[in-house]
Structure 1
Amino acid sequence: MDITSIRSVLHYLSTNILPTKFETAQQPEPNTIQLCFRGVDSQTWLEVSWNGDSPRILKINKPEKIGSESTLSKQIRYGLKYMALISINQDDFERVIKFGFAKKPGDEISKYLIFELMGKHSNIFYLDNKHKIIAVGKQIKSNQSSFRTISTGSIYSDPPVNLKKRPTEEESFQSWKDSISTVPESLKCCLINTYQGVSPILTKQLEKFSNTNDSEIMEKNINFISNENLKEIFKSWKIWISRFKNKNFNFSIFNNYFYSVWFLDKEINCENKIDLCTGLENYYDRHLKQRKLELLVKKIEGIIFKQANNEKKNLNIQYDLLSKSENYKIYKEKADKIFATNEINKKDIIRGQKLYKKSKKLKRSRELIQERLNIYKTNIDRLDEFNTLLENLNSLNHEKLIVKIKLLEEIIEEICNEFKINIKRQREDKKSSSKIQSAPMQVNTPTGLKLQIGRNMRQNDLISFKFSKKGDLWFHAQESPGSHVVLKSSSQEASEQDVQIAADLAALFSKAKRNIKVPINLVKIKELQKIKKGGPGCVSFKNVEIIWGNPTRGEDYIKKNLKTVI
């Protein structure tokens, strides 16, 4: 979060929540804390994160209550109980925010919360009136930092002084140009490396706000930018400083990824016009969820890749053993030759018996090896099914991000449970684990029948057995991993059009979705059976009918009948 955005949030807070009573604190993630303040007639929730990738301070809507408690949130909650927030301080372009608390407005400050939002060095401190650290987000040992160590019980010291130049409205164009031209780099790097408060997003904002004839001016070397274009950038620079100093803020967003808090509506056409705090909350909420989703996809891909390699390795070992077991006939023939000779002594008898024994052992092992081969082949096919579910989830954009995240978390859990994989997990919330799980995708057919589509193994199991009734129809791509699709024809007889749409969707949500036509198994629910000792979604069936599904037609139907959400 850039310093201008931080300043805009603090301006809102200073105007609207001073003074307020501290009410509670909770920690939804290891590097994020949520604080609640109660005013005369309203509650205000803040979210502060010292995560190195996305440090931020935001006003948020009331979050879900966390069941389990972290030590930090407990210390803050009990330490600040019944206290009033009476001051919020932040020095111009510094990224250190100080919240002061007293027993009541007008009293001296007796507790502090300090937030340092400085990239990977971000942190949170809970201090007493003598600046002694009571609790800290992350402790820093002497071998981790030569400048300052951070631990509970020590006295808080300020972070290193920012030695970059402070932007001022009084600076002339020539002085500004000379300052950023010391080292010839791209204009973006020159501004970031020379002045306090300049971030990559600010350089993009200056570029968009300026009337230059070069759309990529920030990426150009400063020596190759004309004086006229630099003057246009300088004009925008002065406007930014003025609005920063005078706290003239307004939220604008462009192309779903680029926002500003200092453009005015009349100066630029923006897509959405919403209040600043709501705009920032929505922006960060969406992009943080998108990042989490991408990390979960990579994590699942990594788990599947690693486990598939293990299964293939074990499969090859069994194939080698199987090939060696073919020698049982050779050992038997050798033993037969020994006993077929006219003259045979005790030593030959012992050798012949050993050969027979080895032959029998190898023959018996073939059955066990074959069993293991079937297990490893089934495991590889199963991982292929998980991979298909993951691909299907990424290919369509019809669920909210939070729903996609939930589906991915369930897929990880399913893989880990099925293959007994132990992965490092963050502190889990006891209350959240009991919440309702994700629901299968559901659409209506042209005649109004319901169609259910499983998006993970648990959902496949549910729609095929728990939610289904006698008279429903089950669809799945033939000899291809994919989702189970159930047509709820128990309520009324399905038309040919209903059956065809169900087949098209079964084709779409299968590994064979890139084919023009896909053979689909159509089975009556009463003919479907769960495979004993099989994982969720493993079924067997009798009396199957084969029909052809068209994935393209299925995709068109989904797009028309499900709203795309972001």
Structure 2
Amino acid sequence: MDITSIKSVLHELSEEILPSRFETAQQPEPNIIQFCLRGINSQTWIEVSWSSDSARILKINRPEKLGAESTLSKQLRFGLKYMALVTIKQDKFERVIKFGFAKKPGDEINKYLIFELMGKHSNIFYLDNNQKIIAVGKQINSNQSSFRTVSTGSIYSEPPKNMKKEPSPDESYENWKESISSVPETLKYCLINTYQGVSPILTKQLEAFSNLGSSEIMNKNIDFISEVNLKKIYQSWKIWIDRFNNNNFNFSIFDSFFYSVWFLKSEINNINNIDEINGLENYYDFYLKQRKIDALIKKIDGIIFKQTNLEKKNFNLQSDLLINSENYQIYKEKADKIFMTHEIQKKDIIKGQKLYKKSKKLKRAQNLIKERIDIYKNKLDRLEEFSALVDNLNSLKNENLTIRINLLEEIKDEICREFNVRTRNTRSQKKDLSRLESAPIEINTPKGLKIQIGRNMRQNDLISFKFSKKGDLWFHAQESPGSHVVLKSSSQKPSDEDIQISADLAALFSKAKMNIKVPISLVNIKDLQKITKGGPGCVSFHNVEIIWGNPTRGKDYIKKNLKRLI
């Protein structure tokens, strides 16, 4: 979060929560603290992250209860209970925020929360009235920093002062140009390296605000930028400083991706009038969840890739052993030749007996090896199914991001449990999974019958056995991994259209979804059996009927009829 956004958030919060009473705190992830303050009329939740790549402070909606047992959150709840937040301080372009707490408004401040939002150096401190550190987000020893060490019990020292030039509204164009021209760099880095408070996002905002007709001005060497364009940038620079100093903020999206807090409503092409605090919360919520989804997919793909290589290695080893075991007849024939000779000696008898023994051993091993080959083949098939489930999450682009995260976490947990894969435990993984369990997709057919679609192994198991009734119909892509689809036809007889759309959805949620047509197995629920040793979602069936599903038609249908997954 850039300094302009930080100041805009603090400006809004200062008007809303000064003074207010501290109520509670929780730590949902190792580098995030959320705490609640109660004002005269309402509660306000604040989230602070000291993550190196997304350090931020935001007002948020009431979060789910998560992380109340962390040591830091307990210390804050115990130390700040019933205390009043009386001051919020942040000096000009510095990225250090100080929350001061007193027993009641008007009393002397005796507790502090300090947030340093400075990229990889970000941190959080909880101090007493003597500036002694009671708790800290991350401790820093002398090997990690030569400037200062950070540990509980030590006295807090501020980070080094920013020695860059402070932006001034009174600076002339000539002085400004001379300051940024001292080093022959791109305009972007001239501004960043010369002035306080300048971040890469601010340079993009200045470029967009100046309407230069070129989107690459900031990446040009300052010596190759025309005087006209440079003066336009300077005018935008002056406007930014003025609005920063006067707390004139307004949230907006520009370039369809980035956000700004200092463009006025008349200067943006934003149809929706977005509140600043809510706009920032929604922006960070969306992109942080999207990043978490990408990280989970990468993690699951890595687990599947590593486990697939292991199972393939075992499969190939057993295949080689099977080929070798098929030579048992050769060893028997060699032994027979030895005993068929007229002149046989003791050493020949010993050699022949060894050959017979080896032949019998290889013959006995064949069945065991074939069993092992089947086990490894089934494991490879299961990994294919998990891979297909992850791929199918992208079938619905308008799906709720929280649901996608929960689904991915469940799939990762299922793979790790089934294949005994150990992953590093973090606080975010110690969630109450029973509360976060996702539900299968439910959608109605054109005639009003319900269709259920499993998105992971647990859901596949539930809709196929626990939720199903006699008379329901089960659909699955033939010889292709994918989701189980159940048409709830026990209540009334399904039409041909109901059956067809169920087949289309089974084709869509399968690995064969890129095909024009997909063969679908249609089975009555009563003809479906669970394979107990095969893991969740493993089934066998008989009396199958094959029909054709169209994935494209299934995709069009689900987009029209499934507005939003909750």
Give TM-score scaled by structure 2 length: 0.98
Cα distance change, pair 174–302 in 1 and its aligned pair in 2 (3 A) = same
C-alpha displacement of 1:115: 0.3
C-alpha displacement of 1:429: 7.2
- What is the distance in 1 between the residues matched to 2:95 and 2:67? 32
Match of 2:386 in 1: 386
Match of 2:114 in 1: 114
Match of 1:211 in 2: 211
Q: Is the 8 A contact 1:332 1:359 kept in 2?
A: yes
Match of 2:477 in 1: 477
For 2:65, the aligned partner's letter is K
- Asked if 1:343 is matched to 2:343, the reply is yes
Matched position secondary structure for 1:486: strand
Cα distance change, pair 111–67 in 1 and its aligned pair in 2 (3 A) = closer
Q: Is the 8 A contact 2:471 2:524 kept in 1?
A: yes
- What is the distance in 2 between the residues matched to 1:159 and 1:246? 26
- What is the distance in 2 between the residues matched to 1:312 and 1:290? 33
- Asked if 1:377 is matched to 2:385, the reply is no
Deviations 1:524-552 (A, max 9, x none): 01000011201111110001011111111
Q: Is the 8 A contact 1:254 1:271 kept in 2?
A: no
- What is the distance in 2 between the residues matched to 1:327 and 1:469? 52
- Asked if 1:323 is matched to 2:323, the reply is yes
Match of 1:174 in 2: 174
- What is the distance in 1 between the residues matched to 2:280 and 2:68? 28
For 1:41, the aligned partner's letter is N
Q: State which drifts further: 267-276 or 243-252.
A: 267-276
Match of 2:263 in 1: 263
- The 5 A counterparts of 1:518-533 are 518-533=518-533
C-alpha displacement of 1:123: 0.2
Q: Is the 8 A contact 1:475 1:484 kept in 2?
A: yes
Gaps of 5+ in 1: none
C-alpha displacement of 1:395: 3.2
Match of 1:191 in 2: 191
Q: Is the 8 A contact 2:25 2:68 kept in 1?
A: no
- The 5 A counterparts of 1:521-560 are 521-560=521-560
Match of 1:332 in 2: 332
For 1:536, the aligned partner's letter is P
- What is the distance in 1 between the residues matched to 2:102 and 2:357? 87
C-alpha displacement of 1:508: 1.1
C-alpha displacement of 1:355: 1.2
- Asked if 1:99 is matched to 2:72, the reply is no
For 1:311, the aligned partner's letter is E
- The 5 A counterparts of 1:146-545 are 146-254=146-254, 257-427=257-427, 432-545=432-545
Q: Is the 8 A contact 2:28 2:427 kept in 1?
A: no
Match of 1:132 in 2: 132
C-alpha displacement of 1:327: 2.4
For 2:466, the aligned partner's letter is K
Gaps of 5+ in 2: none
C-alpha displacement of 1:438: 0.5
Number of residue equivalences:
566
C-alpha displacement of 1:32: 0.5
Deviations 1:480-503 (A, max 9, x none): 111111111111111111111111
Q: Is the 8 A contact 1:67 1:429 kept in 2?
A: no
Q: State which drifts further: 64-73 or 287-296.
A: 64-73
Deviations 1:261-300 (A, max 9, x none): 1111112221431221111111111111111011001011
C-alpha displacement of 1:243: 0.7
For 1:119, the aligned partner's letter is G
Q: State which drifts further: 401-410 or 273-282.
A: 273-282
Q: Is the 8 A contact 2:192 2:200 kept in 1?
A: yes
Match of 2:82 in 1: 82
Matched position secondary structure for 1:248: coil
- What is the distance in 2 between the residues matched to 1:48 and 1:527? 54
For 2:265, the aligned partner's letter is D
C-alpha displacement of 1:409: 0.4
C-alpha displacement of 1:179: 1.4
Q: Is the 8 A contact 1:164 1:196 kept in 2?
A: yes
- What is the distance in 2 between the residues matched to 1:18 and 1:503? 59
Deviations 1:491-527 (A, max 9, x none): 1111111111111111111111111111111100100
Match of 1:73 in 2: 73
- The 5 A counterparts of 1:40-51 are 40-51=40-51
Q: Is the 8 A contact 1:21 1:38 kept in 2?
A: yes
- What is the distance in 1 between the residues matched to 2:213 and 2:312? 58
C-alpha displacement of 1:255: 5.4
Q: Is the 8 A contact 1:335 1:353 kept in 2?
A: yes
Match of 2:12 in 1: 12
C-alpha displacement of 1:256: 5.0
Q: State which drifts further: 345-354 or 483-492.
A: 345-354
Q: Is the 8 A contact 1:451 1:486 kept in 2?
A: yes
Q: Is the 8 A contact 2:28 2:67 kept in 1?
A: no
Matched position secondary structure for 2:25: strand
**Paired-residue identity, %:** 74
For 1:299, the aligned partner's letter is K
Cα distance change, pair 191–525 in 1 and its aligned pair in 2 (3 A) = same
- What is the distance in 1 between the residues matched to 2:364 and 2:107? 87
For 2:24, the aligned partner's letter is T
Deviations 1:435-474 (A, max 9, x none): 1510111111111111111111111111111111111111
C-alpha displacement of 1:418: 0.8
- What is the distance in 2 between the residues matched to 1:474 and 1:373? 30
Cα distance change, pair 213–431 in 1 and its aligned pair in 2 (3 A) = closer
- What is the distance in 2 between the residues matched to 1:68 and 1:42? 22
For 2:167, the aligned partner's letter is P
CA RMSD of aligned residues (A): 1.5
Q: Is the 8 A contact 1:98 1:113 kept in 2?
A: yes
Deviations 1:114-160 (A, max 9, x none): 10000011000111111111110000010111111111111111101
Cα distance change, pair 42–176 in 1 and its aligned pair in 2 (3 A) = same
- What is the distance in 1 between the residues matched to 2:196 and 2:543? 73
- What is the distance in 2 between the residues matched to 1:160 and 1:448? 67
